[in-house]
Amino acid sequence: MDVGNKKSSMRVRADRIKPYQCKQLIAVIEDPHDIKNIGTVIRNVNALGVEKAYIVDPKGSLPEDWQDMRERKSLSGTSVSAIKWTFVKRFDSTEQCLDHLESKNFSSIVTSPHMKGRRNVVLHEGDYTIFPKLAVWFGSESRGITDLAVRRSELCVNIPMLGMIESLNLGTTSGIVLYEITKQRRAYQRMYRYKNMRGRKFIA
Ligand SMILES: C[S@@+](CC[C@H](N)C(=O)[O-])C[C@H]1O[C@@H](n2cnc3c(N)ncnc32)[C@H](O)[C@@H]1O
C-alpha cells in the first residue's frame, strides 16, 4: 500500500469539518488570568467551529508567536490539543485588539452578566447573523469586560442569572454563547449556500 499518498486521518477529518466552520467569527478573551479558562475557551472555539481566537494579554504571559503558543504544554494540555488546530493571536491591549478588528471591518459584541451596553440583549433573543464579520468578547474572571470594549461594541449579550450567584465561569459562558452564535451563523451560511446552488442550477 502506498502510505505516502494516503491522507492522514487528521487531514481527512479537517477536510470533512471545513464546510461547518463559521467564517469571519472570532472569539476574544480579554485579560484572562487562569490558564485553564484559556484552554477551555480555545477548546470551545475549536469544537464549535469558530474561525479564530484572540487573546488580550496585557501582562505578557503568553508567547507572541502562534507556533510557540501551540507548543506551550500548559495550553496544549488544558485545551486537549485544540490549540494545535486553532488560530490564536495575542494582543498587548484592548485598544490594540479593537483597532485591529475595526481595521478589518469586524463588529464587536461583548458578553456580561450585567446590562452594560448601549444596547443589551438576552442571548437567545439576539440575531447574530446581521454582522458579516463578528468578534465576540469575553471579560476577565475578576473584573469582567472593560468599559473600553463595551463602548466600542454594538451589543452586550447577557445570559440571565437565575440563582444566587452573580456570574458564570468564563469557560462555561464561552461554550453557551458560542453555541448559540455558531448555530445561528451556520444555519445562515447553509441557507446562503443552498440559495447559491439553486441560483447556479437555474442559470445552467
Ligand atoms: C466570571 S465572569 C466576570 C464577573 C465579573 N464580576 C463581572 O462583573 O463581569 C467572566 C466573564 O464571563 C462572561 N459571563 C459570565 N457570566 C455571564 C452571563 N451571565 N452572561 C454573559 N456573560 C457572562 C463575561 O464575559 C464575563 O466578563
Domain boundaries, the chain: 22-159+167-203
What pLDDT, on a 0 to 100 scale, did the predictor assign at position 196?
Answer: 63
Residue 191 confidence (pLDDT): 83
Residue 121's pLDDT is 98
CB of 120 shorter than 6 A to ligand 1? no
What secondary structure letter does DSSP report for 8? Answer: P
What is the whole-number distance in angstroms between the Cα of residue 126 and the centre of ligand 1? 17
Q: Is the CB of 138 under 6 A from ligand 1?
A: yes
Instruction: Indicate the CATH number of 22-159+167-203 among 3.30.365.10, 3.40.1280.10, 3.40.190.10, 3.10.290.10.
Output: 3.40.1280.10
Q: How confident is the model at residue 26, as a pLDDT?
A: 98
pLDDT given for residue 189 in this prediction: 87
Q: Which three cell numbers stand for residue 53?
A: 481566537
* Choice from 109, 128, 173 to test ligand 1 binding pocket (greatest atom count within 8 A of CB): 173
What pLDDT, on the 0 to 100 scale, is given for residue 1? 45
Give me the pLDDT at residue 68, please: 78
Decide: 34 and 166 in contact? Cβ < 8 Å: no
Look up residue 61 and give its DSSP letter. Answer: -
| pLDDT value of position 149 | 98
Whether 26 is in the pocket of ligand 1, judged by its Cβ within 6 Å, is no
- Residue 51's φ and ψ, nearest 5 degrees, are -70, -45
Question: Which residue ranges of the chain lie beneath pLDDT 70?
Answer: 1-6, 80, 194-204
Q: With CA atoms as reference, report the closest residue to 41 among 107, 86, 102, 71.
A: 86
